[in-house]
Amino acid sequence: MYFCDNMKHKIISLINSASISALGIETEEVYNNCISSKHLLCKQSYNGKDYWVGSLNAESEDVLQEFVKANKNFSRADRTVSMAAFTAEKLINKTEFELPQLNKLCISIGSSRGPTGLWEKFYGQYLNSTDKVTPLLTSPLTTHGHISSEVASHIGADGINIDNSTTCSTGIQAVMNALVWIKSGYADFALAGASEAPLSPFTMAQVEALKLYDADINKEFPCMPFAYKKSNAFVLGEAAALVLLQELDISTVKKSKEIIVVESFGFSYEKPPSLTGIDEGGHNIYLAMKMALKNQISRTPVDMILMHMPGTVKGDIAELNAIHNLFGEKLPYLYSGKWKTGHTYAASGVLNIEFAMLCIKNNFFPEFPYETMEKISKPEKCRKIMINTAGFGGNAASIIISKSEILFT
- pLDDT > 70 in the chain, percent: 95
* Owning domain of residue 229: 5-408
What is the Cα–Cα distance from 409 to 406, expressed in whole angstroms? 5
Q: Is the pLDDT of residue 336 over 80?
A: yes
Mean pLDDT of 130-136: 92
Q: Would you give the DSSP letter of residue 39?
A: -
> What pLDDT, on a 0 to 100 scale, did the predictor assign at position 98?
60
- Cα torsion for 400, 191, 168, 227, to the nearest 10°? 50
Mean pLDDT of 43-52: 97
Mean pLDDT of 250-277: 86
Are residues 208 and 190 in contact, defined by beta-carbon separation less than 8 angstroms? Answer: no
Are residues 78 and 197 in contact, defined by beta-carbon separation less than 8 angstroms? Answer: yes
> What pLDDT, on a 0 to 100 scale, did the predictor assign at position 79?
97
Q: Is 0.85 topped by the overall pTM?
A: yes
What is the Cα–Cα distance from 237 to 45, expressed in whole angstroms? 14
SS3 271: coil
pLDDT classification of 101: cutoffs 50, 70, 90: low
Mean pLDDT of 31-60: 96
Q: Would you give the DSSP letter of residue 143?
A: S
> What pLDDT, on a 0 to 100 scale, did the predictor assign at position 3?
41
Mean pLDDT of 227-243: 96
Mean pLDDT of 260-272: 92
pLDDT classification of 166: cutoffs 50, 70, 90: confident
Mean pLDDT of 44-73: 97
> What pLDDT, on a 0 to 100 scale, did the predictor assign at position 99?
61
Task: Tell me how far CA of residue 256 lies from CA of 189, 259, 321, in angstroms.
Answer: 19, 6, 37
Q: Is the pLDDT of residue 170 over 70?
A: yes
The domain tally of the chain equals 1
What is the Cα–Cα distance from 287 to 279, expressed in whole angstroms? 13
pLDDT classification of 4: cutoffs 50, 70, 90: very low
Q: Is the pLDDT of residue 91 over 80?
A: yes
Q: Is the pLDDT of residue 277 over 80?
A: no
User: Which residue in 36, 26, 147, 9 sits closest to 81, CA to CA?
Assistant: 147
pLDDT classification of 132: cutoffs 50, 70, 90: very high
> What pLDDT, on a 0 to 100 scale, did the predictor assign at position 409?
77
Q: Is the pLDDT of residue 21 over 90?
A: yes
Of 10-19, 23-32, 75-84, 92-101, which range is least confident? Answer: 92-101
CATH, residue 268: 3.40.47.10
Question: For the chain, how long is the longest CA-to-CA vector?
Answer: 72
Provide the mean pLDDT of the chain: 92
Per-residue pLDDT tens over the stretch 144-154: 888 999 999 99
pLDDT classification of 1: cutoffs 50, 70, 90: very low
Q: Is the pLDDT of residue 103 over 80?
A: no
End-to-end CA distance of the chain: 9
> What pLDDT, on a 0 to 100 scale, did the predictor assign at position 7?
47
Are residues 22 and 56 in contact, defined by beta-carbon separation less than 8 angstroms? Answer: yes
Mean pLDDT of 120-125: 94
User: Which residue in 172, 236, 170 sits closest to 200, CA to CA?
Assistant: 236
